[in-house]
Structure 1
Amino acid sequence: MGEKRQEKIWTGQFWIAVINNFFLFVVHYALLTSLPLYILYELNGNEGQAGLAMAIFMLSAIIVRPFAGKIIEVFGKRKTLLISELFFCLSSVLYIFIDSLPLLLALRLFHGIWFSILTTVLIAIVNDIIPESRKGAGIGYFMMSNNLAIVFGPLIVLTGLQWFPYKVLFTSLATVVFMSFLFIFSLKVSEYPSSLSTVKRNRLTWEDFIESKAIPIAIVGALTAFSYAGVLSFISVFAETRDVFEYVSLFFLVFAIAMMIVRPFTGQLYDTKGPNSVIYPSFFFFTVGLFMLSNIHTVPTLLVAGALIGIGYGSIFPCLQALAIQSTHKHRSGHATSTFFTLFDGGLAIGAILLGVVSAQWGYTIMYIFCGVIVILTALIYWRLVSVKKSDTYNKTEEHLSLKQSS
């Protein structure tokens, strides 16, 4: 056991995957921030059209996500990675030439398809790179690149637009993502053949799209995402009503710093003490952060809430994703990932819609209290659906399968 704990996570291959993922999500969040402004001020659109451009991207990603696992199984991880990232890059370039709203909406639909496939296959590849005994820490560090991109993507955009026009911004983002694309050619990809029960069939079945073993964890992920949608979608508007709008960027910065500080400890706890040792405390911090956010009147309160949510949500998400991947066989990791993100993305989308209704009817304070209550219920559902015994056997099952295949 001592030797396993010493297995390295930060290999050259892992660095390539993390850097690539970071740049992909920087571009993603930069576009999420800049396109509504571009639609309003350059294309003479309205707020509804700006929202539609964001929604259509998510819709295409959610629709395609269940098919991603089957695509990976048929074409293999390497081909899927290269093709999906190439089209993701081409989509990023096309923003430079878009000068009408219909074309932009069509591009968002196209871009969402490749974003969905690319992010699914990249996580499946990273899962193979991370040593079995370090899954909790490894997935956590990898997902930290997503959370850092949440900070740096909008920061780059909001700073850059003060000095440069939109076309220069889009050109810069396309250049960054193409540079990232060149790095993945040096990424070594492990392919795991399907078991005999999944070889060529004439008819598609449920298993071609969904990994049943990952569904309980994906349900917990969807409910967690539902509550986080209240932060992601409405924190700026709520902060403006409390006269702390100019400090929202600091909120996300504190979120990222708090997450990075605890990540080494949470990853070690996951791998040595099991997922429950991280997930239950994280639910607690997430809940307290949401309750505190519901009653912000000062900047310190806003920032403390950001730190608590960063510790809570920032630790729950990678743990649940690691559990989803570990719930099944290696050759089904793509299906498990697509199942998890299908429900997770659905939770974000439904949360943004329903919480918008709640905030309109009862105000943001009630909305964030409601989100906190949902997190408490989610912790109970996690306890019911993902028992201690079951979660602790995921690593053992994988090790047993590996030994059986090698013998």
Structure 2
Amino acid sequence: MASKRSIWSKNFILLMAGDALLFMVYNMQVPVLPLYGKSLGMSASQIGLFVGAIMFAAMVVRLFSDRLLHYFKKKTLLIAGVLLYLAASVCYPLFTAFAPLIAFRLLNGIGHGLGTTYFATAAADELPLNRMGEGIGYFGISSMFSASIAPLVALPIAQKISFNAFFLTCILILILAMGMLAFIKPKVKPVVATKKTRLAGIQKDFLPQSLLIFCLGLIQSGVLSYIALFAEIRHVHGTAWFFFTAAIVGVALRPIVGNLFDQRGPFFVLLPSVIGLIISFILICTLHSQWQLILAGVFFGAADGAIFPTVQSWVLKAAGKERRESATGQFLNCYDFGMGIGAYLLGKVIDISNYATMFQVILYFTIAYLFFTLFYARRKA
């Protein structure tokens, strides 16, 4: 029976492992690249553009998410994504000028777009529909686990050894991810292209969920791009522990969140999660000690570990198997657009004011986000 079907197939486990390694590199770059940009003399808005450029390239790639499957297997596209990630990581330490670094970040974004789209949908293909929320929750644990250890690995290497050593570590992890992909045996064969094939556009069925995840991306961009620099200005140490704590809490909540979504729907997950997000920004805005930073990480991780997989499962369940790639592409594009534009615009806020003001802006926006979540998720509960 479908209810008894195990979610732990060989392919699913390998996809989890490969996704974890790819996201580990991403989460290693998140706290380090702003420091690298600052060391090269970039302004706050330039740092935001440098960090966020990956998201814009990923968005463009996802517009072709359905069409690419008419010509290539998912495994081929995943390998291409990891290779592009690898090429960018090799090039970052070779150049110091802003323009080529942006170009390599865009190249990185193409790989990011391929990887995040097809790892997620390939994993979804392995899951029974009635256990989709649970399965996606467990799948998300892989990326959350890698996020938990990534800053603990990345920041000490970059700050105590060198940025070159940091990029070398990224390269080695990506080579290991390639090894995981080699053992995956895809089930789905590429389909024959037809004249009706077109680019993935905006799907109104998933627009409210897409707006919810866009806002989450914008909110998160300020923390991920600037928390290390803000803590440095406030003379608070332990940024790596903020990321570690956030990720561990997120990992712990994922299975619970998946089951709660399957049984009660999105509203019962999203409401307390956004409240936790507000609490985390109150703590960040008044930051003065390491314990406060770590406590903010607890609330931030709880919110992130609940909101993202809940909205993702909501979209995947509504889409059905035939629209899974395009729905996932739209979902991730909206998240990445929020992350990308948020990092740049919030950098502009810092340029004309300061880091404290920027985090206050995010706090007010998050309060508005709570009312939007209440309005839509309650209607669908």
**TM-score class normalised by the smaller sequence:** 0.7 to 0.9
SS in 2 for 1:47: coil
> Which one-letter code corresponds to 1:9 in the other structure?
I
- Asked if residue 260 in structure 1 is aligned to residue 251 in structure 2, the reply is yes
Shift of 1:220: 0.6
Point out where structure 1 has 5 or more consecutive residues left out of the alignment.
392-407
Name which of structure 1's ranges 363-372 and 320-329 shifts more when overlaid on structure 2.
Answer: 363-372
Cα distance, 1:213 vs structure 2:
2.0
Match of 1:298, as an amino acid?
S
SS in 1 for 2:325: helix
Query: Relative contact order (C-alpha < 8 Å, sep 6+): which is higher?
Result: 2
What SS class does the counterpart of residue 8 from structure 1 fall into? coil
8 Å Cα contact 1:125-1:190 kept in structure 2:
no
**Aligned-pair CA distance for 1:166:** 4.7
1:319 corresponds to 2:313 = no
Task: Show the counterpart of 2:276.
Answer: 285
1:181 aligns with 2:175: no
- Looking at structure 2, the residues matched to 8 and 379 of structure 1 have their Cα atoms a distance apart, in angstroms, of 36
CA-CA distance at 1:50 after TM superposition = 5.6
Give distance in 1, aligned partners of 2:95 and 2:369: 44
Aligned to 1:327, the other structure's residue is in SS state helix
Which residue of structure 2 lines up, in the alignment, with residue 47 of structure 1? 42
How far the C-alpha of 1:74 sits from its partner, in A, is: 4.5
TM-score in terms of structure 2 length: 0.85
Superposed displacement of residue 340, structure 1? 0.9
The equivalences for 1:12-27 within 5 A come to: 12-27=10-25
- Contact between 1:80 and 1:121, CA under 8 Å: does it hold in 2? yes
2:295 paired with 1:304? yes
Q: Is the 8 A contact 2:92 2:101 kept in 1?
A: yes
Kindly indicate whether residue 216 of structure 2 is the aligned counterpart of residue 218 of structure 1: no
**Percentage of pairs with the same residue:** 28
* Larger-Rg structure: 1
The equivalent residue for 2:167 is 170
Q: Is the 8 A contact 1:36 1:50 kept in 2?
A: yes
Q: Deviations over 1:71-127 (max 9, x none)?
A: 23543423322333344344444557x356455443332222122122111111111
Q: Does 1:121 align with 2:112?
A: no
Matches within 5 A, 1:104-115: 104-115=101-112
- 141, 145, 162: which one pairs with 1:144? 141
CA distance in 2, matches of 1:287, 1:256: 17
Task: Tell whether the 8 Å contact from 1:92 to 1:170 is kept in structure 2 after alignment.
Answer: yes
- State the TM-score, normalizing by the size of structure 1: 0.80
Structure 2 counterpart of 1:77, one-letter code: K
In structure 2, runs of 5+ residues without a counterpart are none
Of residues 362-371 and 169-178 in structure 1, the stretch that sits farther from structure 2 once superposed is 362-371
5 Å matches for 1:3-402?
A: 4=3, 7-35=5-33, 45-48=40-43, 53-94=50-91, 98-99=94-95, 101=97, 103-161=100-158, 166-191=163-188, 200-201=194-195, 204=198, 208-244=200-236, 246-359=237-350, 363-386=354-377, 388-389=379-380
In the alignment, residue 345 of structure 1 is paired with which amino acid? D
